[in-house]
Structure formats: structure tokens, C-alpha cells
Amino acid sequence: MGKYILKRLLLIIPMLIGISFILFVVMHIAPGDPTSVKYGLNPDISESARSNFNKIYGLDRPVLVQYATWLRRFFFLDFGDSFMDGRPVISKIMSRLPATLLLQASSFLVIFCVALPIGIISAVRRGGLFDRTMTVAVFIGYALPAFWLALLLIFFLGFKLQLFPVSGMVPWYAVYIGGFARAGDLLWHLVLPVFATAFGGVAALSRYSRSSMIEAMGQNYVLTARAKGLSERRVILVHALRNALLPIITIMGLTLPGLISGSFIFETIFAWPGMGRLGYEAIMNYDYPVVMGVAVISTFLTLLGIFLSDIAYAAADPRIRYETRRT
Amino acid sequence: MGSRNRVYALKRSLLVHKTVIFFLCFLPVHGYGYSRGEHVSRDAYVSAGIGEARILLPLFADDVSSGTICGLVYNGLTRTDKDLKITGDLAERWEVLDHGLTIVFYLRRDVRWHDGAPFTAEDVRFTFETILDPGTGCPYISGFTDIEKIRVIDPYTIRFEYKRPYAPALLKLGMGVIPEHLFRDEKDIRKSVYARAPVGTGPYRFSRWETGQYIVLEANQDYFEHPPGIKRYVFRVIPDQAVEFLELISGGIDSMQLNPYQYRYRSDTPEFKERINRYLYLAPSYTYIGYNFKDPILKDKKVRQALSHAINKREIIDAVLLGLGEVCTGPFRRESAYYDDSVSLSGYNPEKAAALLREAGWKDADGNGILEKDGREFRLRLATNQGNQTREDVAAVVQRQWAALGIKTEIQVIAWAAFLDQFIGRRDFQAVILGWSLPIDPDCYSVWHSDSMRKGGLNFISYSNERVDRLIEEGRREFVPAKRREIYHEIHRCIAEQAPYTFLFFNYSTPAVNRRFKGIRPEPAGIAYNFIDWYVPEREVKYKF
């Protein structure tokens, strides 16, 4: 097992390099460049100031040379400096990462805690009123564009009913009020963004857990358990659920990329100060170092998530062992 | 200009502030009947912008958000008043000598940096020498390259010597001055801690910056004019404009720039007006259609004139801006002395347009409704950038107005980066819809001089006229206002006659501000010029801490 974990961890490195290479090249081939976007039609800024900028940041050199420079620094975890404000990319990302992780972790938790019970109940009472209602709700959840849902939430719950804040994470006056009130305020600000980001995930995962559960309920060991005279509760929650959970672990790992890419949109709508919005702004401004930094970090987080779900899978299912068999 | 001026955020769309320099004028005026000692700073003013400030150094501030904050924290040697006239800021007075080759500034003696250190001429020298050092990478360097030498005569007198007279100098020297004692040992001042926690001389001192969320400034009780009436200035980042509007109504923010639709329909309700005041004044920016002189069809003056005469600007203003605009005829600020009012206002004349096209050889011989010449139909590609709904709407109206003349127009809407790269950069277009924002100084070298036709220059339509070139050069060297006015009036008439652009309209700026703020007086400079005189009556204060 230890050897397998090490191998999987090491595999992340070439994967990161490959992805970063493709990204770097595509970004440089795309029409436009940082100086034209930044200064393109500004009469106060001369062409010489622009070429000076290109020289300072090495943008006048061939793309492959630039990539080699980037890669060399990357191995020392140096992502270079942002074009927009000259700050080191890594410190920009680190100041934004906690907000993103807070939002993602909360969404993840909500997805798990809400979708699983929905799935189980739907499976157990297949064809019942709850199951049918949820089927409709889930299809609506799939069909709704999530950003539109976010705007609706802001409009009705935040603006019309004034139940939740319209946008932001921590209000500016938080430092002038007490610490306890501040923590409550943060939770208050989390509700709408978490709802919006988790909605699609809940829809998907409840569907998967429903079908996985239905499959498990039809297995012979469930029949055996019932025949042994176990309570229905024990049959469902212990015998059926444990087996039904296995494919769900993998699917949970696969919802991570969706959450991370979704953060680009939701953080912008909710004025959430996270990494996704940093990445979005960087893309709009052709801030290559920040785009690369955000992309590498998100890729790393995604690969890590998938890796962890594989490990969890092995831990949960005694039939699966990743050791190479000795003959 | 820009960076130094107290900038008032004008954000109509994400792209507006990328395409045009921000122009906002946020200049305090000597006190409106107050006297020192009467000032109590109360409450907080919460504004918002779509993007986060990038760097709080006026030398590098090239976005609206940074410019706004820098304008409140720093002062320049000069500033402009409510009528956009140049007046002293850190400089008490100045003398222009040798026909503009030398400018001597006499500085205020009662100014201190926010950390308590006295402000002196060394700070001024340091600021402009830093700008002139190419290693600094200051984007605004071109406005200062005519400076030959900067001499400190005594701690409160400084002399700028120019290689040749440069009339915009007085405005350019309004660039925010940074403190020498905090920056002199920095190798790269952009990396200094003071680039994100600025120390200036202005009415507000920096308090805190939560990345991605907000910046808080506190009133400077020792400000040399008088303490500002509002105790805190808060700048929030709200990237989505629909959300920003909801925040305005629910009180999360105190002001924003409305778009025409929000002004006409969403905010024209009693509930809105009860709590929020709306203002209306002409913005110093215009929208135009530019014609490429490298194009075989459009290099014919008669064709360009015909295209201009075929356009009903009033109809465009009513349809696209919901009436919130004024007809434009030339490249200067509408309310400035340099704008020649005698230039015929609308120019809309479809008969004349048709006649001009006939003279140019365009006829509809086969009767299909489209003009031809030498066997080729009159087809025109009209391009603009994506993300600016106003421009896309203008394109649709123009397409129909030109169709009435027998011209087939194809509209191209291209993403900004690609638009700059492939259309503007390569000079590969026929007609484009774009906008310019106008600095206070009328100098238009970078847009209209033939020298700016070169790659990367802003004369991308390749307009070249010897007389206009000569006048632009004269205008840059002339310090006498009356003579300057004559020069720019002539440039205005010249350009209007040759129709390199169809100047369409100036739009109105439509800011909304919460009603509890008093002392707001709209002037040619906008509303933000006297921000330090705004106040909230005691019983209406919202943020009491």
C-alpha cells in the first residue's frame, strides 16, 4: 500500500508539468498580450513604455524559453510576479486560498450530508411521493444554469427578503465590532454561496447514491441479512449502505474539479475573495504568471482529491488492494 | 492626467476603463463657507468597483480602483478645480518662465506626510526622477520626457527645466508626489510595503486592505485644507454589476455609476428616490466611428463625409443611450473652451450624403438597393469590441441608417484582446466603433498626429494632415490660453471637415449617491471634486463607530 501511495504521488508531478506546458503555450498563442490589454488604447502610455514593460518581464523572448524559465522557478515553488501589481504570485494566491477552501469545504460537506440521505430514502421508498418529488427536483437542479440560480438567490433571499447578505465575505466594519459577532457574520455570508455551489452537486450525487443503493438492496447479502431476522434499519444502514457507498467515494472525488471550476463563476457573482476570482481577473487581464499559478494550484488540488478518493476506496473495500501481486 | 487626480470611479462596463483612460475628477475645493475648526468627520462612505485596486502608488496606478484610492491619499503639485481650471495643490503658486522652458514651483510649508515627516521639495524631485528612470517602468513616462533637469532651490522651491516648451506640463505635474524618506532605499518601489499601505499627504490616510474585499481609509485630521467631513472612505470590490445595484438599494454601498437603463427605469421609482440621489452631468468621453485611411473605399473624403452625413446622431442617442447623451462633433471636451461650438451640430443630411456618393462614383445601376462602383458593391465591415453593449447597439442602428443609402454593412463583434491584436494592431479593418476619454489638457498628439501612425501608436486609422500636425505641435508649445484656444478650434474644424471619424456622442455620467450625504454640487468637473466637503448630518449618521 505504501509503495502504491508513493507511486501515485510521484505521478502527480509529470501530470502537472504536462498540463502546465499545454496551458502555457495555449495562453501565449491566444490573440492579445498583457501590454495591449493593459495599455492598448491609453493615450497617456507610450509604445516605448510598453516595450519596456515587455522587457522587464521577459515577454520579448520565445515562448519555449519563457516556459523553461517558468518551469525552473516552479521547482522552487516560485511562480514569479504578477503583471498587474508586481506582487509575488504565491503570496497573492495564499492570501486568496483560505476563502476558496472555506467555501469548497463547506459545499463539499453540504453535498455529502444532503445528497446521501436523499439518495437512501429515495432508494428505500422507491416510487413513493418523496422519491418522485426528489426526481423532479433533481432534474430541475441539473437543468438550472447555476449562475442564474445564484442571481435568483441573491435577488430573493438577499435583496427582497433581506434574510442573507447580498454579497461579500466579511463586512468592512467587522473589525469595529466584537469577535463573536464576526464569526456569526461569516457563517451568515456563507449561506447563499454554499447553497449555489452545492446545488448541482447535490442533484448529481443524490442520483448516484439512489441508483447505487437500489442496486445494493437487490443483492443476495441483503436477502441473507433479512433472512437472519435483522431489523430493516440495520439491513439498510449497515449491510446495504456500506456496499452502496463504494462507488460514491469515487464520484465524490470527481465532483472536486467541478467545484473548483465553479468557484471562478460563483466567487465573481458573490464578490467572494477567493482564488477562483483571482484566476478570473488574471485571465481577463492576461496576467500570465497568476493564471499559471492559479491553474497549477487548482490542478494540484484536483489531482490530490482524486488521489485521496482512490485511497479511501481501497481503505473502504477490503477486496481492493493496490499491492502488486507476488508470484 | 488620471492617476494624480482625485479620481471618481466611472464604471459603465468592464471594458470602458480598459479602453479609455479614466478621467475622473475628484478635486476638493477650498471650503464652501466653512472655516477651520468647524469640521467634524462623521460616518463612512462606501463605494464599490468591479475590480480590486492593484497598486497604491500614483506612478503605477493604471486602473480606476487604484486611481481612486491614490487620489484620496496623495496630492500633486497642481490639481484642477470645479471648472477644470489648473490650481495649486502642494504648490502654493508657480511661475512659467522663458516661454515655458522653466517652471518654478513654490511649495506649501504646512504639509506633513501621514507619518508626521515634513513634506519638502526633495520629495517632489525624488518622485519625478523616479518616473524618468526607465528602470522604474512607470507607464506615464511619456508625459515627462521633455524634462531636462529638476533643481531643488530650497526646501520649498523647486525648478523644472524643459528641453522645449510643453503646455500640458502643469497638468502632468499634478501626478501624486510620493515620500522620499520611505522610498529612497528601495530597489523596486513597486515591491515596497508602502505600495500597498501608502503614506501620502492627502485628506485620507490608509487604514486597512482586505485582499479581494475592501480598502478602508480614515480621515486625515491634520489635512492642510481642513479635515474631510466623512470619517471613513470604504472601497468595496463587487465584480458583478447586477449585484452592485442590489447592494446600492439594500444599503450595502452608498454610491455607484448607473447605466442608462438603470437610470431611466430601475431607479425612477419613489422608493429609490426617497433614499438615493441621482446626478447627471456630461462625461468627458465620446464614442465614434473611425475610418481606416488605408482602405481603398474609405480613403475617399467624399465617401467618409457621406457616411457621416447619413448618420442621425440624435436617433442613436435616443435609441441606445435612452437620451442620456449629447451630440459630438470633435475630439475635445464638450464643456471646455477648446471645443468649437460653431461646428455644425448634427450634420445629418441624407440628401447630401446621397449626392456625395454619386459624386464619388457610387451608383445603384442594377436596382437591387445596393450601390456599386466599377462593378463592385458597396459593402462595409463595421467592427467593435465584445462586452460593450452600447457599442454593439450603436452598430445595429448605424447599419440600418447606412442601408437607407444603399450600403451593405456587416457587423463584427470581437473579443477585446483579439480586436486590439488583429484589427487595431495590424491596421486591418474598415470602420470601427470605439470611444476615447478626454484628459483635461486638449493636446491630442497621440491620437491625431501623423507621427502616432507608427506601430503601437493610437492614430490607427492612419490619419495624416500636415496642417493638423503643425497645429498640434504649436498647441503643445503654447502657454497663452487665448492663443491655445484658437489653435484647437482650428484643429476641431479641420478634422470635422475631413471626417476621419464620425463623432457620435458624449454620454452622460449618472452616479447615484445615498441621500444622507450632503454638500454635493455637480459642476463641469463632476461631483467628486469637493469630496472633502461632503458631510452627513448628525442624526442621519449610519456608521457611528
Identify whether the C-beta of residue B531 lies closer than 8 Å to the C-beta of residue B295.
no
Identify whether the C-beta of residue B296 lies closer than 8 Å to the C-beta of residue B506.
no
User: Is B446's CB within 8 Å of A49's CB?
Assistant: no
Helix (H, G, I), strand (E, B) or coil at B89: coil
B195 vs A contacts (CB less than 8 Å): 85-86
How far is the alpha carbon of B444 from chain A, nearest alpha carbon, in Å? 9
A42 part of contact set with chain B, CB < 8 Å? yes
A288 part of contact set with chain B, CB < 8 Å? no
- Percent of chain B at pLDDT above 90? 75
pLDDT greater than 50 at residue B30: no
pLDDT greater than 90 at residue B1: no
pLDDT greater than 70 at residue B37: no
pLDDT, average across residues B287-315: 95
Residue B127 burial (CB < 10 Å; 0-12/13-18/19+)?
buried
B436 vs A contacts (CB less than 8 Å): 41, 43
On the CB side of A245, CA atoms within 13 Å amount to 17
How far is the alpha carbon of A71 from chain B, nearest alpha carbon, in Å? 23
| pLDDT in the model for residue A36 | 77
B543 vs A contacts (CB less than 8 Å): 173
User: Is B425's CB within 8 Å of A36's CB?
Assistant: yes
Does residue B30 or residue B123 have the better pLDDT? B123
A52 part of contact set with chain B, CB < 8 Å? yes
Does residue A40 or residue B289 have the better pLDDT? B289
Contacts of A223 (CB under 8 A, 6+ apart): none
What is the torsion angle, in degrees rounded to the nearest 10, for the CA atoms of residue B176, residue B195, residue B145 and residue B501? -80
User: Is B62's CB within 8 Å of A33's CB?
Assistant: no
User: Is B457's CB within 8 Å of A47's CB?
Assistant: yes
User: Is B240's CB within 8 Å of A269's CB?
Assistant: yes
A147 part of contact set with chain B, CB < 8 Å? no
| pLDDT in the model for residue B129 | 96
For residue A41, give the chain B residue with the closest CA: B19
CATH number assigned to the domain covering A95-285: 1.10.3720.10
Tens of pLDDT, residue by residue over B314-370, are 999 999 999 999 999 999 999 889 999 988 766 899 999 999 999 999 998 888 889
List residues bridging with B94 in a β-sheet: B105
B55 vs A contacts (CB less than 8 Å): 84-86
Tell me, what's the ipTM?
A: 0.83
- Percent of chain B at pLDDT above 70? 93
Helix (H, G, I), strand (E, B) or coil at B284: strand
A300 part of contact set with chain B, CB < 8 Å? no
Identify whether the C-beta of residue A263 lies closer than 8 Å to the C-beta of residue A104.
yes
Tens of pLDDT, residue by residue over B73-110, are 999 999 999 988 999 999 999 999 998 999 999 999 99
pLDDT, average across residues B474-493: 94
pLDDT greater than 90 at residue B114: yes
What's the mean pLDDT when you consider all of chain B? 89
User: Is A44's CB within 8 Å of B21's CB?
Assistant: yes
How far is the alpha carbon of A92 from chain B, nearest alpha carbon, in Å? 9
In 10 A of CB A74, how many CB atoms? 18
Looking at residue A244, its amino acid is A
| pLDDT in the model for residue B263 | 94
User: Is A47's CB within 8 Å of B455's CB?
Assistant: yes
Which of A47, A49, A55 lies closest to B459 in space, CA to CA? A47
In whole angstroms, give the CA distance from residue B278 to residue B256: 10
- Which of A38, A92, A172 lies nearest to residue B234, judging by beta carbons? A172
Residue with cell string 480598459: B18
A159 part of contact set with chain B, CB < 8 Å? yes
DSSP string for residues in A299-316: HHHHHHHHHHHHHHHHHH
Q: What stretches of chain A show up as alpha helix (H) in DSSP?
A: 2-29, 34-39, 47-56, 63-74, 89-124, 129-143, 146-153, 179-217, 220-227, 232-234, 241-269, 275-284, 288-316
Tens of pLDDT, residue by residue over B257-274, are 999 999 999 998 898 999
Domain ranges of chain A: 95-285
pLDDT greater than 80 at residue B136: yes
Residue A29 burial (CB < 10 Å; 0-12/13-18/19+)?
exposed
DSSP string for residues in A27-85: HHHSS--HHHHHHTT-TTS-HHHHHHHHHHTTTTS-HHHHHHHHHHHHTTT---B-TTT
For residue B250, give the chain A residue with the closest CA: A159
* Low pLDDT (below 70) residues in chain A: 1, 178-179, 320-327
For residue A39, give the chain B residue with the closest CA: B18
B57 vs A contacts (CB less than 8 Å): none
A contact residues 53-82, partner B, Cβ 8 Å cutoff: 53, 56
For residue B14, give the chain A residue with the closest CA: A284
Identify whether the C-beta of residue B441 lies closer than 8 Å to the C-beta of residue B284.
no
Identify whether the C-beta of residue B224 lies closer than 8 Å to the C-beta of residue B137.
no
For residue A279, give the chain B residue with the closest CA: B212
Q: Enter the C-alpha cell of residue B220.
A: 486625515
Strands B204-210 vs B214-219: parallel, antiparallel or unpaired = antiparallel
In whole angstroms, give the CA distance from residue B357 to residue B351: 10
- Which of A33, A47, A281 lies nearest to residue B51, judging by beta carbons? A281
Integer-rounded Cα Rg, in Å, for chain B is 24
DSSP at B147: E
User: Mutation test of the interface with chain A: which of B54, B59, B191, choosing the one with the most A Cβ atoms within 10 A?
Assistant: B54
User: Is B18's CB within 8 Å of A167's CB?
Assistant: no
Contacts of A283 (CB under 8 A, 6+ apart): A291
A273 vs B contacts (CB less than 8 Å): 210-213, 237
Contacts of B196 (CB under 8 A, 6+ apart): A87, B55, B56, B209
Identify whether the C-beta of residue B56 lies closer than 8 Å to the C-beta of residue B34.
no
A182 vs B contacts (CB less than 8 Å): none
A39 part of contact set with chain B, CB < 8 Å? yes
For residue A94, give the chain B residue with the closest CA: B211
In 10 A of CB A228, how many CB atoms? 10
Task: Report the b/e string of B67-76 with b at 16+ CB within 10 A.
Answer: bbbbbbbbbb
In whole angstroms, give the CA distance from residue A266 to residue A272: 8
pLDDT band per the 50, 70, 90 thresholds, residue B154: very high
Identify whether the C-beta of residue A116 lies closer than 8 Å to the C-beta of residue A240.
no
Helical packing angle, A2-29 and A288-316, nearest 10°: 150
Maximum distance among all alpha carbons in chain B?
Answer: 81
User: Is B213's CB within 8 Å of A274's CB?
Assistant: no
A280 vs B contacts (CB less than 8 Å): 239
Residue with cell string 437512501: A120
**Which H or E element spans position B124?**
helix B121-132
pLDDT band per the 50, 70, 90 thresholds, residue B36: very low
For residue A161, give the chain B residue with the closest CA: B250
A·B CB contacts under 8 A: 173
User: Mutation test of the interface with chain A: which of B66, B246, B332, choosing the one with the most A Cβ atoms within 10 A?
Assistant: B246
B20 vs A contacts (CB less than 8 Å): 41-42
In whole angstroms, give the CA distance from residue B359 to residue A82: 56
A39 vs B contacts (CB less than 8 Å): 62, 139
| pLDDT in the model for residue B396 | 96
User: Is A52's CB within 8 Å of B455's CB?
Assistant: no
User: Is A49's CB within 8 Å of B454's CB?
Assistant: no
For residue B61, give the chain A residue with the closest CA: A85
In whole angstroms, give the CA distance from residue B10 to residue B281: 12
- Which of B141, B213, B247 lies nearest to residue A273, judging by beta carbons? B213
pLDDT greater than 70 at residue B17: no
pTM (two decimals): 0.85
A45 vs B contacts (CB less than 8 Å): 62, 139-140, 142
A contact residues 166-225, partner B, Cβ 8 Å cutoff: 166-170, 172-173, 175-177
Tens of pLDDT, residue by residue over B500-534, are 999 999 999 999 999 999 999 999 889 999 999 99
Tens of pLDDT, residue by residue over B404-447, are 999 999 999 998 888 888 898 889 999 999 999 998 999 999 99
In whole angstroms, give the CA distance from residue B108 to residue B90: 6
| pLDDT in the model for residue B238 | 94
